[in-house]
Amino acid sequence: EETLPARKLLTLVIIHHEEKVLLGMKKRGFGKGYYNGFGGKVEKGETIEEAAARELEEESGVTATDMEKRGILTFHFDNDPVLWEVHVFYVTKFLGDPYETEEMAPSWFSVADIPYDTMWADDPLWYPLLLTGQRFKGDFFFTNTTTLTSHSIGVVESV
Ligand code: 6OG
């Protein structure tokens, strides 16, 4: 009898406001030294949406007012049997001004200047879909945690 692989649920919020994208330089933990959206693990007793809102507030100080789920990314790491399922949310309206936290140093980037060289290797494959209003699902296979060896990605009707 086959069993489903174990999955870890995570969130990732990208804010797109006045032609700019808010990214945080991760200061510690997984992905340190990379720019990324804001997010983290879904905790027991909260929904994925609640986790996304909570992590955004904890890591950037802002409160999203129009969060929309736009993608699901599944990461396969050769050194971890657990799949990482990252739920991607798109935000254009929020309250507050982003500030630096223990976890992240935020900056705004024009879409043309998104620093893909200092981001996870999967990001250039799906940010263009996110930023043009599409919904998507993708699978990404990493070796040695950071080397992307293969992927598949598709635009979907709903996530
Ligand atoms: P914490 O360790 O901060 O949660 N994340 C990824 N984001 C991108 N763009 N690519 C990946 O490729 C990622 N793997 C994980 C999900 C980790 C944060 O990093 C995201 C979370 O927002 C491998 O709790």
pLDDT digits over 25-48, tens only?
999 999 999 999 999 999 999 999
Taking Cα atoms as reference points, which of 74, 13, 66 lies closest to residue 24?
13
Length of the chain: 159
pLDDT digits over 51-94, tens only?
999 999 999 999 999 999 999 999 999 999 999 999 999 999 99
Q: Please state the separation of Cα 48 from the chain's center in Å.
A: 13
Rounded to two decimals, the pTM is: 0.97
| Ligand 1 pocket at CB < 6 A | 10-12, 29-31, 36, 39-41, 75, 84, 86, 120, 122-123, 142
Question: In the structure encoding, which two tokens stand for residue 36, read together?
Answer: 């990324």
Ligand 1: atom nearest CA of 11 is 22
pLDDT at 129: 98
Q: How far apart are CA 61 and CA 110, in angstroms?
A: 21
DSSP letters of 76-111? EETTEEEEEEEEEEEES-EES-----SSEEEEEEEG
